């Protein structure tokens, strides 16, 4: 099986590349590295290409932001507007980057994205400047991310804290909450795609879900513990494991997909302490959360039906989209995730949850040769909220969305970034 084809190989970082991020509104891909730089690439579709689903974009190196970070840049993220880039570094700071000419001239954006010749314009080539640096973490910042409407920014660190910042005019950021509920290194963050709900995952083997309590302050409203039993040898990467976690509202789904294992000549003893949760991703609908951990398993958590009042639709089968996963084994997997018409209700669940199925539809081994892969991200182009249906801007955004929706990017220890396309099937 393949189901994945290589679109572009982008070399340039001189040290491991840790994270890739697609700009949501413009044809830009960013990557960051231990070499303390951010590299920006643009892409365009050849004007001769007519077939929306198989057209291959052409990638071009655009610019490098040297940054002033003193250590590894671990994480990067774009604001929903696509105008601001944020960097999280092992030097404990968070950098906010913008193109100053654009800030002064909002019309410039309109002109650029509404340009005519050959479709989209490469409007990320101007100089990116650090408009502010957020300080506060006591040790390495591990992850950064904007909320779905761009009103909030979150960061987390080895200092066990999760910070929520309010984004104010003129590149001003006010810290509105510092949450210390994790007992260890906080590895990653994920904002809910529609609501102001923040998920964090930690070395302490737990996932916390945070929200703003109108009567109090930001705080955790639920703790998810995958509680994966240590197995010897470890679960082969890419297996979605069933698990009977002891949690209430959100619940892990049972789905098992077995892959051929690598059949090592000797077993590597499993790590006995509860596994670090390294990665989080919400489904586009916001009803499911995927988590990936040390032992190679992926867990999918469902929002309990009590979470939502619109429960009638949950009885229908539904395609939830594709989940991409990767890791130190150098393998990229693409899973087709579906919600079945069945629901699960057991004693440790407070409400029924839909049963899901996961099928592997893409597999690429040694995707970066011998190197560990540190990041995978789908291209998700958004249609600007203020774009009127029927307008040029709207049509262009829809077209960009359709053409790019099967693209994903990966970043690896050799500093390379690769772009892939999930093929039909």
- Residue 2 CA to its chain's centroid (Å): 23
Residue 158 sits in the site that holds another protein (CB under 8 A): yes
Q: Which of 245, 390, 219, 255 is nearest to 336 (CA)?
A: 255
Among 43, 90, 163, 173, binds another protein (CB under 8 A): 90
Show contacts with another protein in window 196-215 (CB under 8 A): 203
Q: Which lies closer to another protein via its Cβ, residue 11 or residue 366?
A: 366
Name the segment binding another protein (CB under 8 A); options: 95-103, 112-120, 268-276, 314-322: 268-276
Residue 51 sits in the site that holds another protein (CB under 8 A): no
Name the segment binding another protein (CB under 8 A); options: 163-171, 174-182, 266-274, 282-290: 266-274
Determine the Cα–Cα distance for residues 415 and 398; give it in Å rounded to an integer: 32
Among 44, 56, 71, 399, binds another protein (CB under 8 A): 71
* 368 in Cβ contact with 412 (< 8 Å): yes
Q: Which lies closer to another protein via its Cβ, residue 235 or residue 356?
A: 235
Determine the Cα–Cα distance for residues 393 and 34; give it in Å rounded to an integer: 37
Q: Which lies closer to another protein via its Cβ, residue 179 or residue 205?
A: 205
Residue 232 sits in the site that holds another protein (CB under 8 A): no
Residue 68 sits in the site that holds another protein (CB under 8 A): no
Residue 273 sits in the site that holds another protein (CB under 8 A): yes
| Least distance from another protein to the Cβ atom of residue 179, Å | 20
| Least distance from another protein to the Cβ atom of residue 139, Å | 8
Count CA within 13 A, CB hemisphere, residue 224.
32
Q: Note the helical H segments in 32-188.
A: 100-104, 106-113
Residue 272 sits in the site that holds another protein (CB under 8 A): yes
Residue 265 sits in the site that holds another protein (CB under 8 A): yes
Please give the size of the binding site for another protein, defined by CB under 8 A: 29
Q: Which tokens in the block code for residue 390?
A: 């029927």
Could you tell me the sign of the dihedral formed by the alpha carbons of 167, 169, 172, 177, in that order?
negative
Name the segment binding another protein (CB under 8 A); options: 209-217, 249-257, 260-268, 303-311: 260-268
Q: Which lies closer to another protein via its Cβ, residue 102 or residue 185?
A: 185
Q: Which of 357, 295, 355, 345 is nearest to 321 (CA)?
A: 357
| Least distance from another protein to the Cβ atom of residue 126, Å | 31
Q: Are strands 162-168 and 172-179 parallel, antiparallel or unpaired?
A: antiparallel
Show contacts with another protein in window 326-355 (CB under 8 A): 328
- Residue 420 CA to its chain's centroid (Å): 16
Q: Which lies closer to another protein via its Cβ, residue 233 or residue 284?
A: 233
Burial class, 150, CB count within 10 angstroms (exposed 0-12 / middle 13-18 / buried 19+): middle
Q: Which lies closer to another protein via its Cβ, residue 318 or residue 372?
A: 372
Measured between alpha carbons, how far is residue 88 from residues 82, 154, 229, 280, 295 in Å?
17, 10, 32, 17, 26
DSSP for 142-186, please give it.
Answer: EEEEE-TTSSEEEEEETTS-EEEEEEETTTEEEEEEEE---SS-E
Show contacts with another protein in window 360-419 (CB under 8 A): 365-366, 370-372
Q: Which tokens in the block code for residue 267?
A: 């077993």
Q: Which lies closer to another protein via its Cβ, residue 231 or residue 285?
A: 231
Determine the Cα–Cα distance for residues 109 and 124; give it in Å rounded to an integer: 11
Lookup result for tokens 């509202």: 249
| Least distance from another protein to the Cβ atom of residue 370, Å | 4
Q: Which lies closer to another protein via its Cβ, residue 135 or residue 263?
A: 263
Binding site for another protein (CB under 8 A): 16, 34, 71-72, 74, 90, 140, 142, 158, 185, 187, 203, 262, 264-266, 268-269, 271-273, 276, 294, 328, 365-366, 370-372
């Amino acid at each position: 099986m393949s189901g994945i084809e290589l679109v572009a190989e982008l070399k340039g970082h001189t040290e491991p590349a840790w994270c890739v991020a697609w700009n949501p509104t413009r044809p830009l891909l960013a990557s960051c590295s231990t070499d303390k730089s951010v590299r920006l690439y643009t892409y365009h579709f050849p004007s001769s290409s007519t077939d929306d689903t198989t057209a291959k974009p052409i990638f071009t190196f655009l610019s490098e932001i040297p940054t002033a970070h003193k250590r590894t840049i671990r994480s990067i993220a774009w604001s929903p507007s696509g105008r601001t880039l944020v960097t999280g570094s092992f030097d404990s700071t968070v950098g906010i980057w913008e193109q100053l000419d654009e800030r002064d001239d909002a019309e410039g954006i309109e002109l650029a994205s509404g340009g005519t010749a050959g479709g989209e314009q490469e409007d990320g080539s101007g100089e990116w400047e650090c408009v502010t640096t957020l300080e506060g973490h006591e040790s390495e910042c591990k992850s950064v991310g904007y909320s779905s409407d761009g009103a909030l920014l979150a960061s987390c660190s080895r200092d066990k804290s999760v910070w929520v910042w309010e984004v104010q005019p003129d590149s001003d950021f006010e810290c509105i909450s510092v949450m210390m509920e994790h007992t260890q290194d906080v590895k990653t963050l994920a904002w809910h795609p529609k609501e102001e709900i923040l998920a964090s995952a930690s070395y302490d083997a737990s996932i916390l879900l945070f929200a703003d309590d109108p009567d109090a302050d930001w705080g955790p409203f639920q703790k998810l513990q995958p509680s994966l039993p240590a197995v010897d040898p470890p679960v082969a990467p890419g297996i979605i494991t069933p698990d009977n976690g002891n949690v209430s509202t959100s619940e892990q789904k049972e789905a098992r997909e077995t892959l051929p294992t690598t059949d090592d000549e000797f077993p590597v003893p499993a790590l006995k302490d509860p596994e670090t949760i390294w990665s989080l991703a919400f489904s586009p609908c916001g009803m499911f959360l995927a988590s990936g951990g040390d032992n190679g398993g992926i867990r999918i958590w469902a929002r309990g039906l009590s979470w939502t009042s619109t429960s009638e639709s949950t009885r229908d089968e539904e395609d939830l989209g594709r989940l991409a996963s990767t890791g130190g084994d150098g393998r990229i997997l693409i899973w087709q995730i579906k919600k079945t018409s069945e629901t699960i209700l057991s004693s440790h669940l407070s409400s029924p949850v839909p049963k899901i199925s996961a099928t592997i539809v893409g597999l690429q081994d040694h995707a970066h040769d011998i190197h560990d892969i540190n990041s995978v991200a789908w291209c998700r182009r958004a249609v600007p909220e203020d774009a009127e249906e029927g307008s040029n801007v709207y049509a262009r955004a829809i077209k960009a969305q359709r053409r790019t929706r099967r693209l994903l990017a990966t970043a690896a220890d050799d500093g390379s970034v690769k772009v892939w396309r999930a093929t039909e099937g």
